[in-house]
Structure 1
Amino acid sequence: MRRAAASVTIVTILLLLTGCWDRLPLRDLQMIDVIGIDQDEKEQGVTVDLIVTSLKGAGKGQGEPIAERTTLKGPSVIEAVGKTEYMDQGPFLAVNTRAFLMSESFASDKPVEEFKFLLHAPYTSINTPVIVYAGKMVELVNNKSSNRQAPIEKLHNFIKSLNSNGVINNISMHEFISSADEPLEDYPLPVVRYHESKFQIEGAMLFHSGRYAGKQITNEQLRMLMFMLGVDQGRQRITGSVSDSKSGLQDITYGFSVKNVRRSVHTQKGTDRLPMVTIRVRLNINVFDIGDNIDTLKPNYAVVMEKLLGKQFEQEAAGMIRTAQQANCDVLGIGKHIKAFHPKLWKSLDWRKDYPNITIAPKFDIQILNTDGFEQFQ
C-alpha cells in the first residue's frame, strides 16, 4: 500500500512539473503591445496593424524587448489575423495583446460582430482595454521605436491613467463583446489622439449594446458624466471660469481638487406615465484658485461661488444628458436603477422608446472645504 501511494505521489508531482499540455515557452511567446484595426477603403475590408514585442535573451529575470510591426489585410478581422498562420507569429498568437485600438470609422460600423471570434481564439487576452483612436492608425504605428519605449509605452501608461484618475472607466474587449447581448449595457469609449508626441483624450463615443449610438460627448461632458456616476478616484484637479451678471462677477477663474463625490438617484412619477429622475451629486472640493485671495477666503464669498459652480455644472450635465438621450444611450444607468428599485414602473415602460423622453434633472451640491484659509493640497 505504501509503495502504491508513493507511486501515485511521484506521478502526480511529475504531472505538475510538466505544466500544461498547450503551454508556450517564454522565449517563444510573442507579446503584442497594440492591435490597431482600421477600415481599408480601397479593398473594402479591414487593416490590422500589430506591434509585436518578443524577448531576446530571455532567462534569469532578464530580457531585451524587440518590437516589430506587422500589417495584415483581409475582408474581415478574423480573416486578416488568420494570415498569421503562415507567418512566424503562429496561428492566432497575434491576438494576445495589451490594448485594442479602433479607428473612428471602424468603431462606427458594427465592431462587435468583427470581434466575436476572440472569445474562442486560443491565447487571446480579452481583458485588455478597447480604445478609439482619432486619425489613421498608420500615424501611430509609424512613430514606434525599436523597443517598448515611447510612444507605445506612453500609450499604455496613458490608458491606465485615464482609469486610475477617474477620467473614464476602461472597457475591456470581453465587456465590449458581451455588451451586444445586454440591452441595458450602454457606455462611452474614450477617443484618443497622438499629437506632437503626446497622447490626449478628445471626448468619448457613445455605445449601446456594442454599437455606436451616433453621438460623441466632449471632455467637459465626460467629466460631468463621471461625477454623476459617483466616480471620485484620482482626486481630479478641475480648472475653468464662471460668470454671473446678478452677482456682478465676470470671468472668475477657478481651480479645485476633488476630495470626494457622492451620487444618489431619485425616481418619482411624473404628470404622465413617464417617470421623473433626479441625479443628486454632492461634490466636496478644496480650492486653490477662486478669483479671490485664497489665504483669506470668506465664508460668504465661498457660498456664492459654491452656488455659481453648482449652477454651471448643472448646465454642463444637462447638455451631456441631452446628447445621451438623443443617442438613446443610457450611460447613466437609469434603466438599471428603475428595473432594480422600481419593478412595477419598469414593467410599464417600453425602455428604448421611452428613455429619450424621460425627464432627467442633475442637481449639484458643491461644498468648499477650506473656507477658513488655504490648505495646500498634496
Structure 2
Amino acid sequence: MKRTRTVVALVLCLFMTGCWDQLQLKKLLFVDVIGIDYEGNGKQLKVDYVISSLREASQGGGRQTSLHMKSTGTNLYDAVSNTNKEMPGILSVLETRLYLISSRFAKDEPLRHLDIASQFASNPLYAYLAVYDGDLSELLSKKSINDQTVSHFLIGLLDDEIRRGEIPSNKLLHYILGGNQFMNDFALNRFEPYRDEARLAGTALFSDGRYTGKNLNNEDTQLAILLESPSGRNQLLSSQRDGKQYSVLIQSVKRRFHVLTNADKLNEIEISMQLQVKLIEDGSEFKRHTDKMLKDMETFIAADLTTRTTNVMAALQQANCDLLQLGHEVAVFHPNLYKNLNWREQYPTLRIKPKITVKILNTAILE
C-alpha cells in the first residue's frame, strides 16, 4: 500500500512540474539578435531585437515564432530595461547569438558601449559580434530571408563560414574580457545589403577600438585569418595559373615571426609560413604529375600567395590595424626596444614581409 502511494505521488509531481514548465515557456522571450545603432544624429542608442518565443507550448514542445522590437536608451542596459516595460513576458538574453552593430556606431569605440553586456545576470558573451553596413531596423524587421527567420539566416551564414575557416569567429567574450592595448586592433565580420537580403562581405578593420571605414574583401579576409591564426586545416584557397583555375586544400601550417633589429632600431618583421597542401583539379583535366611539374606548381603557388598576403598586410598597415598583434610580439621579445617605440605611428610604415613556402603532399580530384 505504501509503495502504491509513493508511485501516485511521483506521478502527480511529474504532472505538476510539466504544467509549471509550460507556463514559464509561454512567458519567455528569447532574444536571438541585438542590433545597435544611434538614434538620429544624437548619442542615444537605438536597439533592435529579434525575439523568439514559444507559442502553443504544450507537452514539452511548441512552435517557435519570431518578432521584431526596438527601443532606445542612454546605454544598452537602459534600452533593455525600457523594452521590459513595453513588452509583457520575461526577456531573456541568455541565448542571444549575434550582436549586429551599424558602421556608424562601430566608429565610436563600440566595445566601450558593449562592455555593459557583461553585467547582465545571464550575459550572452558567447554571441557573435559583426558589423552591418546598412539600415539595421530594415534588416531585422524582415519576416524571413530565404524561407528562414532572420536570425537563422544571419547566424547560419556565420556558422558555415567559420566552420570552413574562412572568417574570424568574433565572439563577444573575446573582446570584452580580453581587452588590453593589444586587443584594440581587430577585424569584425561585415554584412552588407544584397537584393532583399544581406550577405557577408569580408571584414571591417578596427584600429584602437574604432572602425576605420576600411575593409577587406572575402578573399583577403581568408588570407588575413590564415596569417593571424594559422590552424588552416582544410581551408580551401583558389587562384589561377595561365588562365586556369586551381585550388589547394591546406593540410597544415607553420608560422613564425622574425623581428629584425639593429641596435635600438626596429628594421623589419618577416612572417614565414610553411604550408602543406593538397592540389585539387577538375576531374576532366586530371593527369599524372611528374616531380618537376609538382615542384614548378609549388613555386608558383608560393609566389602567388606571398604576393597576395603582402597586399593584405599593406591594407592592414594602411588602416593602422595591427590584426596580427605584431606589436605584442615586439613587446614580448624586445621589451626595451618596444618601450622606445611609438607603435601606433611606426606600424603603418614598418617593413613587413610575408614569406611563404608550399609543399604539395598529393593531388586530388574535385568531385
Same fold (TM over 0.5): yes
- Give, in angstroms, the shift of residue 349 of structure 1: 2.5
The one-letter code sitting in structure 2 at the alignment partner of 1:375 is A
* Aligned equivalent of 1:36: 35
Superposition pairs of residues 359-374 of structure 1, within 5 angstroms: 359-370=351-362, 374=363
Superposition pairs of residues 90-239 of structure 1, within 5 angstroms: 93=92, 97-145=96-144, 149-178=148-177, 181-185=179-183, 186-193=185-192, 195-196=194-195, 200-233=199-232, 235-239=234-238
2:348 is equivalent to residue 356 of structure 1 = yes
* Aligned equivalent of 1:329: 321
2:277 is equivalent to residue 285 of structure 1 = yes
* Aligned equivalent of 2:243: 251
Percent identical residues: 26
Distance in 2 (CA, whole Å) between partners of 1:353 and 1:110 is 20
Distance in 2 (CA, whole Å) between partners of 1:342 and 1:271 is 11
Q: 1:108 to 1:90 in 2, by over 3 A?
A: farther
The one-letter code sitting in structure 1 at the alignment partner of 2:223 is M
Superposition pairs of residues 11-30 of structure 1, within 5 angstroms: 25-30=24-29
Give the RMSD, CA atoms, in angstroms.
Answer: 3.1
Corresponding residue SS for 1:303: helix
Distance in 1 (CA, whole Å) between partners of 2:289 and 2:350 is 41
* Aligned equivalent of 1:276: 268
Deviations 1:354-374 (A, max 9, x none): 22232211011112222xxx4
* Aligned equivalent of 2:307: 315
The one-letter code sitting in structure 2 at the alignment partner of 1:312 is D
Distance in 1 (CA, whole Å) between partners of 2:218 and 2:149 is 24
Distance in 2 (CA, whole Å) between partners of 1:300 and 1:88 is 70
8 Å contact from structure 1 (residues 206, 329) kept in 2: yes
Q: 1:43 to 1:184 in 2, by over 3 A?
A: closer
Q: 1:173 to 1:224 in 2, by over 3 A?
A: same
2:49 is equivalent to residue 50 of structure 1 = yes
The one-letter code sitting in structure 2 at the alignment partner of 1:183 is Q
Corresponding residue SS for 2:174: helix
Superposition pairs of residues 298-313 of structure 1, within 5 angstroms: 298-313=290-305
The one-letter code sitting in structure 1 at the alignment partner of 2:248 is F
2:333 is equivalent to residue 341 of structure 1 = yes
Corresponding residue SS for 2:175: helix
The one-letter code sitting in structure 1 at the alignment partner of 2:153 is K
- Give, in angstroms, the shift of residue 298 of structure 1: 2.5
Distance in 1 (CA, whole Å) between partners of 2:214 and 2:332 is 27
8 Å contact from structure 1 (residues 282, 366) kept in 2: yes
The one-letter code sitting in structure 1 at the alignment partner of 2:364 is E
Gaps of 5+ in 1: 1-17, 19-23, 243-249
Distance in 2 (CA, whole Å) between partners of 1:348 and 1:95 is 45
Distance in 2 (CA, whole Å) between partners of 1:255 and 1:161 is 19
Gaps of 5+ in 2: 1-16, 18-22
TM-score, structure 2 as length reference: 0.82
- Give, in angstroms, the shift of residue 196 of structure 1: 4.8
The one-letter code sitting in structure 1 at the alignment partner of 2:323 is V
The one-letter code sitting in structure 2 at the alignment partner of 1:131 is A
Q: 1:369 to 1:292 in 2, by over 3 A?
A: farther
- Give, in angstroms, the shift of residue 61 of structure 1: 3.8
Corresponding residue SS for 1:349: coil
Matched length: 344
Q: 1:274 to 1:91 in 2, by over 3 A?
A: farther
Question: Is 69-78 or 323-332 further displaced after alignment?
Answer: 69-78
The one-letter code sitting in structure 2 at the alignment partner of 1:342 is H
8 Å contact from structure 2 (residues 260, 268) kept in 1: yes
Distance in 1 (CA, whole Å) between partners of 2:91 and 2:210 is 25
